[in-house]
Chain A
Amino acid sequence: MHVEETLTAIWTEIERLEERFLSASTHAARLAIVTEMRFLNHQVQFVHEATPWLESAQESRLALGVTYFIDEAVESVVQRSAGVVAPADPIYMYSTYSWPFRALLKELRVPRSTEPVPIILFYPAQEAASLLFHPIFVHELGHTAIDEHDLADRVLDNDPDRTDFGTAYANAVAAFAADEAIQPTEAAALIDEGLAYWLEEVICDALALLFLGPSYLLSFAAFGLSMSRSEPSSDHPPLTLRLALLLAALEFDGWLEILRPTIPRTLAWLEDLASTPADPGNRAIDFFRDAMVALWPTVYREMKTYLNAGVYDPAAFEAVAAAIDERLTLWILPAQLEDGSPADRRALLLAGWLHLIGGAGDDPSAIAAILKRRRFHDFLAKALEMSAVAEKWIPVDTP
């Protein structure tokens, strides 16, 4: 719809410019209109970016079970009606856009619509079938949730240590300006930008962890560790810091009590990674790091309130874990449980992770190999699909 709205707006603008051109009485006036048309043409080129997105909507490379799960996550995490497409990306990363043509629509003076929210979720093209990476999609949906509901402001407004934070911020700006020999206003702008990026990432991590439970930790670690460790950047906290925050949250909610007996070595390895000393950074990076640690309890609390019933309860997983694992061991599709109820898709993802890690002797070095077990990924994706079908099924005699 967003693309359709954009194309309609462009066509309307073309017609308007055409009318003005035909009625223009001077050469200068016509030249001015031609300049406007060239600018519009330049803008239209961006709309061509939508072509692969639209193609992916026709025939997705993702399993149906993943598509259904994304829709389920959108409902809880974005909490808006949304139109989601998930194109494969040659860049090896998960990323997202929402409202990609909002700026153009504003230029064309089109009144802003609020729903459905157009969301484009990119995933690495090579990993279409890697189901156990795809919990990362929920992190990406977090970015849309932040935009739609001003979640970053919500965190900062509700931080009980606002005063201390303000003092730390001012000190960081002054120190950074002095170190870099720049004006305080420039230092403040750079710190504001970096802080916003870092905060956004940890909010997305919190949303994904709360919605999914530990399968997000495992997917995040498995995907991210191949690319980074303790190196900070201007727009992402170091992976080791993010791991530490996620583990602290899982401990707080009682998840580690479930994981520790099942995957003790993998958990110990993650905890060891999380305690890796931070790489040295500049004063701004140091401030961001301290700020994320200080803000994390507020982030987690606020996102828990925001997600509300969407938070995954460890007790709910414990109640079904053994039954799902038994079915996975016997290669029986775990779509329905003993009582005929559909298995929770989040339980399937976590049980899948634990089954594979346990089957590999809880050896962290085997994670790369278990991620290549294509048959199992396909099998679990089919379980997601059938579980969703069973949940949404409308019986014949329903009016």
Chain B
Amino acid sequence: MATDVPLHERLLVTPLLEGSQIGEASIDLRLGTEFLILRRTRYAGVDPASQTVDIQAREIVDRHVVPLGRPLWLHPDQFVLGATLEFVRLPSNIGAYVLGRSSWGRIGLIVATAVMIQPGFTGAITLELVNEGESPIALYPGSRIAQLAVHELDAPTEHGYDVGDPKYFAPIGPQVSQLSKEAGEIGSVRRTGLSLERQDDPGVTPV
């Protein structure tokens, strides 16, 4: 649509395949064609404190591409990472939440367990998809799977997602976890825990 607002200051959803996706209070988003399907591996688990946590996170997923017109079958209790078909860009004064659509929720599909989209975000939104129902569900890339509820900030933020070194910059498909970027946080938690243990019982040998 024609507008005088510079491109980098706009809320963008592209490609917008049908105008009817824009609702009164939300924008319908479609399912993309790339998936990360979790699998069992030789690793004992995913430990955010481990130096190899990013390798562990990559090892537990297989990447699959499902073109439009074909389904991905999501079985009961199965968890996959998908992404929106659309590439979304939020300006610095707009935040958003991504929510499932009730039609899918009523057959057991949970969409987007991590819902907040920060101002300044650019990219396809990763969707955490879980089948909590009792029957396999056929997911068709291109179908409307989620909705984006946007809200305007009182003022543009200076700490938008695009400032500094964002964890997931301009992703085009589902992104593997980058838990290693939480290493500082985990380290702080562990040190705090250790110091509390020593405080409680000076005789305890730290782990």
Interface residue ranges, A against B (CB under 8 Å) = 59, 64, 326-327, 330-333, 335-336, 338-340, 342, 378-379, 382, 385-387, 389-390, 393, 395-396
Contacts and interface: CB of A to CB of B under 8 A. Distances in A.
A336 B14 contact: yes
26 contacts: A64-B33, A64-B67, A330-B7, A330-B8, A330-B122, A331-B169, A332-B12, A332-B14, A333-B87, A333-B172, A335-B14, A336-B15, A338-B1, A339-B2, A378-B172, A379-B172, A386-B87, A389-B15, A389-B17, A389-B68, A389-B85, A390-B15, A390-B17, A393-B18, A395-B17, A396-B20
B85 A379 contact: no
B76 interface: no
B65 interface: yes
A296 to B, nearest CB: 40
Contacts of A333: 14-15, 87, 172
A386 B2 CA distance: 21
Interface string B2-17: 1000011000101111
A382 B18 CA distance: 19
B187 to A, nearest CB: 29
Contacts of A386: 14-15, 85, 87
A322 to B, nearest CB: 11
Contact of A338 (B2, B17, B87, B89): B2
Contacts of B16: 336, 340
Interface of B: 1-2, 7-8, 12, 14-18, 20, 33, 65, 67-68, 85, 87, 89, 122, 124, 142, 169-170, 172-173
Contacts of B169: 331
The 4 A-B residue pairs with the shortest CB-CB distance in the complex, in nearest-first order: A333-B87, A382-B172, A390-B15, A331-B170
Contacts of A387: 15
B172 A389 contact: no
Nearest to A68: B67
Contacts of A326: 7
Contact of A395 (B2, B18, B170): B18
Nearest to A390: B15
Given A332-B12, A393-B17, A385 B7 contact: no
A382 B173 contact: yes
Contacts of A385: 33
B17 A332 contact: no
A112 to B, nearest CB: 32
A327 B15 CA distance: 13
A387 B85 CA distance: 11
Contacts of B18: 393, 395-396
A34 B177 CA distance: 61
Given A64-B33, A379-B170, A382-B172, A331 B14 contact: no
Nearest to B142: A389
A371 to B, nearest CB: 19
A326 B12 CA distance: 14
Contact of A342 (B2, B15, B122): B15
B33 A332 contact: no
Contacts of A395: 17-18
Contacts of B68: 389
A327 B172 CA distance: 14
B27 to A, nearest CB: 15
A387 B7 CA distance: 19
A245 to B, nearest CB: 37
A340 B2 CA distance: 10
A335 B15 contact: yes
A336 B85 CA distance: 13
B87 A332 contact: yes
A384 to B, nearest CB: 11
Interface centre among B14, B15, B89 (most CB of A within 10 A): B15
Contacts of A389: 15, 17, 68, 85, 142
A261 B97 CA distance: 44
B123 to A, nearest CB: 8
B19 to A, nearest CB: 9
A389 B69 CA distance: 11
Given A379-B172, A389-B142, 6 more contacts: A330-B89, A332-B89, A335-B14, A342-B15, A382-B87, A389-B68
Contacts of B1: 338, 340
A32 to B, nearest CB: 50
Interface centre among A327, A382, A395 (most CB of B within 10 A): A382
Contacts of A338: 1-2
Contacts of A331: 122, 169-170
Contacts of B173: 382
A396 B14 CA distance: 18
B62 to A, nearest CB: 11
Nearest to A392: B68
A103 to B, nearest CB: 33
A333 B33 CA distance: 15
Contacts of A342: 15
A23 to B, nearest CB: 49
Nearest to B66: A64
Contacts of B170: 331, 379
Nearest to B144: A396
Interface centre among B7, B8, B87, B89 (most CB of A within 10 A): B87
Nearest to B30: A389
